[in-house]
Amino acid sequence: MQGPSEGLVPYSSMAGKLDQKLLQALNVMGFEHMSPVQHKVLTELPNWRSDCLVQAKTGTGKTVAFLLPALHCLIQGQSRVRKGQVAVLIITPTRELAQQITQQCDQLTSQLGAPLECHFAVGGTARASAHSRFMNGSPSILVATPGRLKDYLSDPATAEKLNDIQTLILDEADRMLEAGFLVEIKEILKLIPPKSAGWQGMCFSATVPPKVRDVVNVVLKPGYSSISTIDENEAPTHERVPQYHVTIPSVVDTFTALTSLLNLEIQKASKIIVFGVTANMVALFHDLFVQGLTPLQTFEIHSRLSQAARTRTTTQFKEAESGILFASDVIGRGMDFPNVDLVVQVGLPSSGEQYVHRVGRTARAGNDGRAIILLTTAESFFLRKNSHLPIQPHPETAAIFEKIPNCSSAVETAMHAIDETTKQRAYSSYIGFFAGSIKPLGLDKAGLVRHANDLAIRGMACPEPPAMDKKIVGKMGLKGVPGFNYATPAELAAKKAPKNRPQAKANGSGNDTPPTGKSRDALSPPNGRGGRKYGGVEKKGGRGGGR
């Protein structure tokens, strides 16, 4: 359902202009009024086959805005393609967004006598079965992430089904290029029919930095239409969301402080997203709170889960009226979960920008929301590095700390019920996340290990530091650092207990695999090459547990 409709134009005003079956589908979906971006695209384009660059914030209805004109032209025969050929190609940065677009496409075509086939091609899923469905089916629309699309286009027989493209849509263009897909996008543009073949280009992006302009000049022909629903005088969403920080003395207090915070916040928030620094830490959070530490239903989503489990969780949390979703950055930007009251971030975001994108999961579609970040004293440099962000001390910090002792016994009991493997993975990923950039924390390498050992023994109730493989420690750049409890790969395998959680393959990732070919969430960290920013500081080296 849509949010507040005051001042919005009803879809009924498009009768006689937009295909009647699409209008029926919108009615079934509960879409009575056009959002500003939907209204502008449908009324300001010279025609619905025009090239366009559309600037609009995430969560404003962009998906429907680009699907409606593309589907109308396809249904009305304005897009002439051979049967079984892809007419509309949509490129988007993540699996979750691809599935979200595919679902809305299926809903919009549900009232047609013979619904158009909308396929999706994303990394991290069973390629053989998805590819077989694509080749044996009659796809009119394909939604794809860059890596898997390049894979399809590199196979001549598969590429043949994309020879009649009529419309190419780049969704979240800035995010795709920000995520490192610029090279792949340019390669894809070389593998599809040239622009001179006459296909329509539509670029949707919240911002238009120089990298986006470079691609726009290839995808859109000169004289393209520019549409924007971003009011330059309006404060960005994150500036309108009340934001607070809670600073705890030590990493040891992480689990008890989070428990106390959530117990306080659920008195006024019923639908909450909690972000963790790594996928394996998120898994530990979920396994902890599912032990009865909260009366709310708990959900988890991260790249250690199978794609089927992630899809199921996405659907369930979207439909839920209340609950806590423990999440990694696979949903950090772009995903729309209705009526989220509160976003909690535990530990350092990868950057100030990532912090802002996470905050953007609340206060969507005209609703209210709040955001809280839980940091250790060592991590509080993030607040100084990002002093432009309106983050204030939590007004009930004293109450949160007062209730921590009451949570300690329940947290410890719950921790004892969690298997050793889950704790070991969280411990390893935590070290890997910080190993490449410990200076801002005021630690040396030995200090980081002591820090993590405290987290494991006093925070996770481990009897000793979890065992680590020397090779993994070496890849983290910590070879020879004292404090590790070493074990051979065989000993580690013997310690592993069966998990109830469907595990993704080791190279699974929330996003499609980036051009480096390296996973964003490999079980073992990269070899120390490359770098990224976290907390506003350049981070070099391995990441351990990933996102």
Are residues 218 and 241 located together in one domain of the fold? no
Q: Classify the phi-psi angles of 300: left when phi > 0, otherwise alpha if psi is within -120 to 50, otherwise beta.
A: beta
Are residues 182 and 85 located together in one domain of the fold? yes
Are residues 262 and 316 located together in one domain of the fold? yes
Q: CA torsion 383→387→388→392, rounded to 10°? A: 60
State the SS3 of 417-444: CCCHHHHHHHHHHHHHHHHCCCHHHCCC
According to the model, what pLDDT value does residue 87 have? 95
According to the model, what pLDDT value does residue 351 have? 83
Q: CA torsion 280→515→360→169, rounded to 10°? A: -140
User: What range defines the domain where residue 63 resides?
Assistant: 11-228
- The Cα 171–Cα 144 span in angstroms is 10
Asked if 330 contacts 547 with a C-beta cutoff of 8 angstroms, the reply is: yes
- The Cα 358–Cα 386 span in angstroms is 15
According to the model, what pLDDT value does residue 514 have? 39
Question: DSSP code of 197?
Answer: G
Domain stops at, among 228, 260, 283? 228
Which residue, chain included where needed, has tokens 């696979």?
330
Are residues 399 and 421 located together in one domain of the fold? yes
Asked if 231 contacts 192 with a C-beta cutoff of 8 angstroms, the reply is: no
SS3 149: helix
Are residues 163 and 76 located together in one domain of the fold? yes
**Total count of residues recorded for the chain:** 547
- The Cα 268–Cα 296 span in angstroms is 13
Residues 6+ apart with CB under 8 A from 188: 91, 146, 149, 150, 153
Are residues 216 and 251 located together in one domain of the fold? no
Q: CA torsion 155→514→527→485, rounded to 10°? A: -110
Asked if 365 contacts 3 with a C-beta cutoff of 8 angstroms, the reply is: yes
Structurally, the chain folds into a number of domains equal to 2
Average pLDDT of adjacent 10-residue blocks, the chain of 547 residues: 64 95 95 94 95 86 95 82 89 89 95 89 80 93 94 94 95 82 90 94 88 87 91 57 94 96 94 95 96 94 86 91 92 75 93 85 76 95 92 95 93 95 95 88 93 96 95 94 91 66 37 36 30 41 38
- Helical residues (DSSP H) of 94-145, grouped into ranges: 95-108, 127-136
Are residues 258 and 295 located together in one domain of the fold? yes
Residues 6+ apart with CB under 8 A from 256: 404, 407, 408, 411
According to the model, what pLDDT value does residue 544 have? 36
- The CATH number of the domain holding residue 417 is 3.40.50.300
- The Cα 434–Cα 441 span in angstroms is 9
The answer to whether residue 3 sits within a structural domain is no
SS3 392: strand
According to the model, what pLDDT value does residue 458 have? 95
The answer to whether residue 2 sits within a structural domain is no
The answer to whether residue 262 sits within a structural domain is yes
Are residues 210 and 269 located together in one domain of the fold? no
- Can you read off the two tokens belonging to residue 234? 């309006």
The answer to whether residue 150 sits within a structural domain is yes
- The Cα 213–Cα 172 span in angstroms is 13
The answer to whether residue 4 sits within a structural domain is no
Taking CA atoms, 270 is separated from 244, 400, 407, in Å, by: 18, 18, 20
The answer to whether residue 6 sits within a structural domain is no
Domain stops at, among 228, 257, 274? 228
Are residues 224 and 242 located together in one domain of the fold? no
- Helical residues (DSSP H) of 397-520, grouped into ranges: 397-416, 420-435, 445-454, 470-475, 489-495
Are residues 223 and 262 located together in one domain of the fold? no
Are residues 166 and 268 located together in one domain of the fold? no
Which amino acid is present at 508? G
Q: CA torsion 180→184→185→188, rounded to 10°? A: -170
3-state helix, strand, coil in the chain (%, to 5): 45, 15, 40
Asked if 34 contacts 65 with a C-beta cutoff of 8 angstroms, the reply is: no
Domain stops at, among 228, 262, 289? 228
DSSP string, 51-94: -EEEE--TTSSHHHHHHHHHHHHHHTT-S---TTS--EEEE-SB
For CA atoms 486, 487, 489, 492, the dihedral sign is negative
> What number of H helices and E strands is found in the chain?
21, 18
Asked if 116 contacts 71 with a C-beta cutoff of 8 angstroms, the reply is: yes
The answer to whether residue 481 sits within a structural domain is yes
- Can you read off the two tokens belonging to residue 371? 């955001």
The answer to whether residue 5 sits within a structural domain is no
Taking CA atoms, 324 is separated from 80, 285, 294, 302, 344, in Å, by: 47, 11, 9, 14, 10
Are residues 224 and 246 located together in one domain of the fold? no
- The Cα 474–Cα 452 span in angstroms is 16
Q: Of all helices (H) and strands (E), which one includes residue 308? A: helix 307-319
- Can you read off the two tokens belonging to residue 522? 């490999």
SS3 211: helix
Burial class from Cβ neighbours inside 10 Å (0-12, 13-18, 19+) for residue 298 reads: buried
